[in-house]
């Protein structure tokens, strides 16, 4: 595809899909709703050859053509920041992100992000994600460490975005959660939306977007579990919201689990207080990532062990059972 001419996409609505056109295109192409609405206003989205309206509903079998203009020149400064690149070729780059690093620039975080570092280390990133998030296919929270894949061209970006949507990308996280699961494995199927009372938080809501998380206990500690968590969808704060929703917030979570350990009684309360004191951040790590290579189709699989700060906490927890 000619990068200078922008990108053209032909999307077919599959059985079971529906809803507003702007939301559908936003989710399919991993574009912000604002950007999709701008494309609609410019006549760059068509249904069966006619200009589309943002509010109309999509139906299975409908074919939607989207023309995305070339991205504006990226004005993000490239920065020589430490970056753990675990794999790179002409299409993709896989990074083991450090905790504390924001993935892409946003208000309040114009520099010091993973994108700033990628622009230094990797000169050719896809522009599909927009000028503030070139190459980024999926994200991790600032305080979550672990594996991410970024695209180096638009074709790879679109392939990986489609694979994510079709649930063909395996993402396994390690999380320490307060209390003990009554059932393991456990599937949490609960839609997520912005919290109406606090826009910085997410919450389970009947009018939210579908969200499915699968949880399995790996280790049972005194007053917490070490969990394998698999994402079937990728909503903002999904693991944190879902685990808090079922009564087992992530250890070290300042938003959805703050002070949880103080409510514990009995002889295990001192253990819980000490675990909380020793945990330096959110105990959440993207440990496994697997997908088909966007060009060759070859199965790609990557693992990242717990970083030193969380590994030390886990060792203490095991030794005090």
From the list 22, 91, 141, 253, the catalytic residue is 141
**Segments in the chain below pLDDT 70:** 1-6, 30, 70-75, 107-109, 124, 126-134, 321
Q: What is the DSSP secondary structure assignment for residue 19, as one 8-state letter?
A: S
Q: CA 260, 263, 268, 272: dihedral to nearest 10 degrees?
A: 30
The residues that bridge with 92 in the sheet, in sequence order, are 151
Give percent of the chain above pLDDT 70.
Answer: 91
Whole-prediction pTM: 0.79
| Annotation marks residue 154 as catalytic | no
Q: Give 213's Cβ-side CA count (13 Å radius).
A: 27
Give the Å distances, CA to CA, from 320 to 86, 87, 121, 311, 314. Answer: 34, 37, 42, 14, 10
Cα–Cα distance for residue pair 7/4, rounded to 1 Å? 9
C-alpha closest to that of 83 among 93, 74, 73, 70: 93
Please give the structure tokens belonging to residue 192. Answer: 């997520």
Calculated CA dihedral for residues 165, 296, 62, 4, nearest 10 degrees: 100
Residue 157: predicted pLDDT: 86
Rounded distance between C-alpha atoms, residue 235 and residue 253, angstroms: 17
The confidence score (pLDDT) of residue 2 equals 38
Taking only the tens place, the pLDDT of each residue in 81-114 is 999 999 999 999 999 999 999 887 776 667 888 8
């Amino acid at each position: 595809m000619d990068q200078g001419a922008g990108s053209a996409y032909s999307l077919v609505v599959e059985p079971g899909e529906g809803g507003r056109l702007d939301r559908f295109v936003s989710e399919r192409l991993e574009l912000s709703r604002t950007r999709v609405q701008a494309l609609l206003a410019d006549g760059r989205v068509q249904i069966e050859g006619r200009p589309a309206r943002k509010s109309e509903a999509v139906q299975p079998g409908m074919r939607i053509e989207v023309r995305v203009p070339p991205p504006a020149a990226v004005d993000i400064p490239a920065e020589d920041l430490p970056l753990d690149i675990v794999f790179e070729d002409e299409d993709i780059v896989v990074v083991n992100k450090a905790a504390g690093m924001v993935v892409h620039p946003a208000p309040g975080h114009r520099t010091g992000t993973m994108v700033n570092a990628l622009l230094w280390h990797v000169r050719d990133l896809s522009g599909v994600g927009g000028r503030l998030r070139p190459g980024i296919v999926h994200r991790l929270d600032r305080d979550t460490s672990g594996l991410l894949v970024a695209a180096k061209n638009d074709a790879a970006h679109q392939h990986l975005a489609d694979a994510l949507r079709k649930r063909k990308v395996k993402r396994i996280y390690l999380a320490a959660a307060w209390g003990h699961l009554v059932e393991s494995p456990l599937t949490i199927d609960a839609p997520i939306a912005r919290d109406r009372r606090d826009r910085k938080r997410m919450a389970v809501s009947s009018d939210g977007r579908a969200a499915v998380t699968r949880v399995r206990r790996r280790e049972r500690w005194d007053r917490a579990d070490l969990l394998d968590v698999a994402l079937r969808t990728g909503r903002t704060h999904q693991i944190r919201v879902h685990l808090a929703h079922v009564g087992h917030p992530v250890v070290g979570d300042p938003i959805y689990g703050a002070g949880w350990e103080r409510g514990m009684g009995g002889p295990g309360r001192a253990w819980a207080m000490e675990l909380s004191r020793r945990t330096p951040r959110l105990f959440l790590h993207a440990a496994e990532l697997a997908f088909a290579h966007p060009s060759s189709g070859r199965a790609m699989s990557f693992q990242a062990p717990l970083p030193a700060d969380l590994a030390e906490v886990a060792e203490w927890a095991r030794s005090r059972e």
